């Protein structure tokens, strides 16, 4: 059965009689950011809030996700969606009248919905845990008061989804097999050390947390979290040596694409070597990705089993040193 495209479904602006809230965009923070699923969430929100007077589906799903009951959250949404199918399929606009005429959706449609929900299973199959080991120290206290475990966990889910999309890892077979990712607020980090990832754990220093200026939930925290989440999911050339700069550069490339670029980063074209790492390499990879859309995703895929500088030539037709020279020349460096 062919489903209607999302663009053909009613938007929030087409529900004037029900006064749809405009603040549901944060559903993406739970990893439930498939466009059609987000639209279903809006529809279900109407049913719960306006007619049954129960807590909104948004809140219910929030609570279920926090308990790692991801499939239950999806099934709950599906059950409510069944009652809305008839109104959606037979009218351009929902009104108070049409919402009172519900019927069950055809079984074939339900099967298609279940299949689409199954496609979201990737984010839900992973358990995301926050372990604040510095709860009695300034950084740990600040984490609890200004960031919170729930928020951090939500951002871990969102970061994973973003990384998978950017790396074009659309199935679990494309990704690393990771059952659990843990964020540790670590009181034992070395002075000046911000964060590191190892064995599917992200260790973030409590001194770093305590030193965050301004909004603790802002770009600084999220940028570091995204960078370290990349290390959880990226391929590393099967342990190939001498590619640490590239590994860090890919992590910062993802941070760049997520929009968490700190002011101290180098400008495009700056740096001494393409594999200098971090922001220097991230800027260079961004240039390469502009030459071939999806280049970084393809490079990461190649690095699943090995690594060679030849990968650049394979994908872009030029060796990496030539690409670096042309990159520098573009910015007059």
Contact 225, 202 (CB under 8 A): yes
Angle at 55 between CA 50 and CA 57, to 5 degrees: 85
| 269 shares a domain with 221 | no
pLDDT of 69 reads: 60
CATH number at residue 153: 1.10.390.10
Q: Does a structural domain hold residue 190?
A: yes
Reported as half-sphere exposure (CB side, CA atoms, 13 A), residue 247 has a value of 22
Helix (H) or strand (E) holding 204: strand 201-205
Predicted pLDDT of residue 228: 99
Cα 71 to Cα 267: distance, rounded to the nearest angstrom: 44
Query: Which domain range does residue 153 map to?
Result: 122-233
Does residue 206 share a domain with residue 186? yes
Q: What is the pLDDT of residues 72-120, one digit of tens each?
A: 666 666 665 555 554 445 544 444 444 444 333 444 444 444 444 544 4
Q: What is the pLDDT of residue 66?
A: 52
Report pLDDT for 333.
85
pLDDT tens-digit series, residues 9-25 = 334 344 333 333 334 34
For residue 79 the two structure tokens come to 């059950």
Q: What pLDDT was estimated at residue 68? A: 54
Last residue in a domain, options 233, 266, 298: 233
Containing 267, the helix (H) or strand (E) segment is: none
Which residue is associated with the tokens 């009689």? 17
Same domain, 265 and 225: no
Residues of the chain with pLDDT under 70: 1-124
For the purposes of burial, counting CB atoms within 10 Å of the CB of 247, is it exposed (0-12), middle (13-18) or buried (19 or more)? buried
Judge if 126 and 229 occupy the same domain: yes
For residue 186, the cross-strand partners are 205
pTM value surpassing 0.75: no
If asked whether residues 206 and 271 sit together in one domain, one would say no
């Amino acid at each position: 059965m062919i489903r209607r495209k999302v663009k053909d479904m009613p938007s929030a602006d087409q529900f004037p009689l029900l006064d749809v809230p405009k603040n549901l965009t944060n559903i993406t923070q739970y990893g439930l950011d498939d466009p059609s699923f987000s639209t279903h969430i809006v529809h279900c929100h109407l049913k719960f809030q306006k007619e049954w007077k129960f807590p909104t589906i948004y809140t219910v799903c929030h609570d279920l996700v926090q308990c790692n009951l991801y499939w239950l959250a999806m099934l709950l949404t599906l059950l409510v969606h069944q009652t809305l199918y008839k109104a959606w399929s037979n009218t351009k606009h929902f009104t108070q009248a049409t919402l009172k005429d519900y019927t069950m959706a055809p079984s074939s449609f339900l099967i298609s919905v279940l299949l689409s929900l199954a496609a979201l299973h990737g984010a839900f199959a992973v358990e995301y845990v926050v372990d604040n080991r510095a709860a009695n120290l300034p950084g740990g206290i600040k984490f609890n008061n200004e960031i919170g475990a729930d928020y951090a966990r939500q951002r871990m889910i969102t970061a994973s989804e973003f990384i998978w999309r950017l790396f074009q890892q659309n199935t679990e077979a494309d990704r690393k097999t990771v059952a659990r990712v843990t964020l540790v607020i670590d009181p034992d980090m070395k002075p000046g050390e911000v964060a590191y990832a190892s064995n599917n754990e992200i260790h973030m220093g409590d001194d770093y947390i305590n030193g965050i200026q301004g909004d603790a939930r802002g770009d600084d925290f999220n940028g570091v979290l995204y960078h370290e989440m990349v290390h959880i999911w990226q391929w590393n050339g099967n342990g190939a040596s001498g590619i640490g700069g590239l590994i860090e550069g890919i992590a910062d490339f993802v941070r760049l694409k997520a929009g968490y670029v700190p002011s101290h980063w180098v400008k495009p074209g700056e740096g001494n070597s393409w594999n200098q790492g971090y922001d220097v390499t991230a800027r260079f990879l961004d240039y390469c990705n502009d030459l071939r859309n999806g280049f970084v995703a393809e490079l990461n895929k190649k690095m699943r089993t090995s690594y060679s500088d030849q990968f650049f030539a394979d994908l872009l037709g030029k060796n990496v040193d030539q690409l670096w020279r042309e990159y520098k020349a573009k910015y007059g460096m």
